[in-house]
């Protein structure tokens, strides 16, 4: 049965999006998901998102990594699916939806999506890195000259040696100014560097604030795929009102035969 799909990208983090409100997509077919995401033999994407009906709110977001497996929260995916919901007429300029890590609220203004992220209560600061979960687990590490850093090799090593089978996403960071940081991310599930990672830049912003690298609660993150902004408030030991802000673009649509 032909499957209509839409290709989206949010600062270079790209996704296949499918309207699954009629439940026509076989969610157990992980092989199909991986095939659709394959860059040589498929559409090509970092992940696949299903938009589904929800009984009480606007929609449900189901996210698969490009390896075909269901995954943890994807921030850029959340921004893209919000734009997709507006395109489908499910919402106008704001949305409340459920993802694997709970409820999210998002607003749209001129193709720029502001996505509310869940509170973060625990930030673990070690000697050479910071670890925290922003919907997905993230390792955050400062390096010099991040543009020439071997993100693939070192990211894969840390992902496997430090975090084992479950893994974690690994972010390498270079400070540019008092509230601006360059970020490159190795993503588990994709098992490669991606051009941008939404939960990753969120983790970086909080980690840089937690370690005193910035005192700003509005942080600019420059990724290879574009610029994102993370806004937040800190109350006690908890980071609240976290927002991931940036563009989401529909690239093309097609039919998978």
- The one catalytic residue in 37, 80, 197, 220 is 197
- The one catalytic residue in 37, 74, 80, 220 is 74
196: domain range?
123-244
Known catalytic residue: 220? no
Please tell me whether residues 131 and 92 are part of one structural domain: no
What pLDDT score does 164 carry?
A: 95
Please tell me whether residues 111 and 159 are part of one structural domain: no
Q: What is the mean pLDDT of the segment spanning 13-20?
A: 98
207-217, pLDDT tens digit by residue?
999 999 999 99
Name the domain count of the chain: 2
- The length of the chain is 257
Output the domain CATH number for residue 223: 3.10.310.10
Spell out the SS3 assignment of 88-130. Answer: HCCCCCEEEEEECCEEEEEEEECCEEEEEECCECCEEECCCCE
Please tell me whether residues 52 and 35 are part of one structural domain: yes
Q: What is the mean pLDDT of the segment spanning 190-194?
A: 96
Please tell me whether residues 30 and 134 are part of one structural domain: no
- Asked if residue 111 has pLDDT above 90, the reply is no
What pLDDT score does 110 carry?
A: 86
Please tell me whether residues 109 and 157 are part of one structural domain: no
Spell out the SS3 assignment of the chain. Answer: CCEEEEEEEECCEEEEEEECCCCCCCCCCHHHHHHHHCCCCCCCCCEEEEEECCCCCCEEEEEEECCCCECCCCHHHHHHHHHHHHHHCCCCCEEEEEECCEEEEEEEECCEEEEEECCECCEEECCCCEEEECCCEEEEEECCCHHHCCHHHHHHHHHHHCCCCCCCEEEEEEEEECCEEEEEEEECCCCEEECCCHHHHHHHHHHHHHCCCCCCCEEEEEECCEEEEEEEEEECCEEEEEEEEEECEEEEEEEEC
23-59, pLDDT tens digit by residue?
999 999 999 999 999 999 999 999 999 999 999 999 9
Q: What does pLDDT average to over the chain? A: 97
Percent of the chain with pLDDT over 70: 100
What pLDDT score does 81 carry?
A: 98
Please tell me whether residues 85 and 170 are part of one structural domain: no
């Amino acid at each position: 049965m032909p499957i209509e799909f839409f290709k989206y990208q949010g600062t270079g983090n790209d996704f296949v999006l499918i309207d699954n409100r009629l439940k026509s997509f076989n969610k157990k077919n992980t092989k199909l998901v991986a095939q659709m995401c394959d860059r040589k033999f498929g559409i090509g994407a970092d992940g696949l998102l299903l938009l589904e009906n929800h009984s009480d709110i606007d929609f449900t977001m189901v996210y698969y990594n490009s390896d075909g497996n269901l995954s943890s929260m994807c921030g850029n995916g959340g921004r893209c699916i919000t734009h997709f919901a507006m395109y489908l007429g499910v919402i106008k300029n704001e949305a409340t939806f459920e993802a694997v890590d709970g409820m999210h609220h998002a607003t749209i203004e001129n193709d720029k999506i502001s996505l509310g992220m869940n509170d973060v209560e625990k930030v673990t600061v070690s000697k050479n890195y910071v670890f925290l979960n922003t919907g997905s687990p993230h390792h955050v590490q400062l390096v010099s000259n991040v543009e020439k850093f071997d993100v693939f090799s070192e990211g894969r090593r840390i992902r496997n040696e430090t975090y084992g089978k479950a893994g974690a996403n690994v972010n390498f960071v270079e400070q540019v100014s008092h509230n601006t940081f360059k970020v490159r991310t190795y993503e588990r599930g994709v098992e490669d560097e991606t051009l941008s990672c939404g939960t990753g830049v969120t983790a970086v912003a909080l980690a840089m604030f937690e370690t005193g690298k910035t005192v700003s609660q509005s942080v600019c993150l420059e990724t290879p795929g574009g610029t994102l902004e993370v806004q937040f408030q800190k109350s006690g030991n908890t980071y609240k009102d976290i927002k991931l802000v940036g563009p989401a673009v529909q690239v093309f649509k097609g039919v998978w035969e």
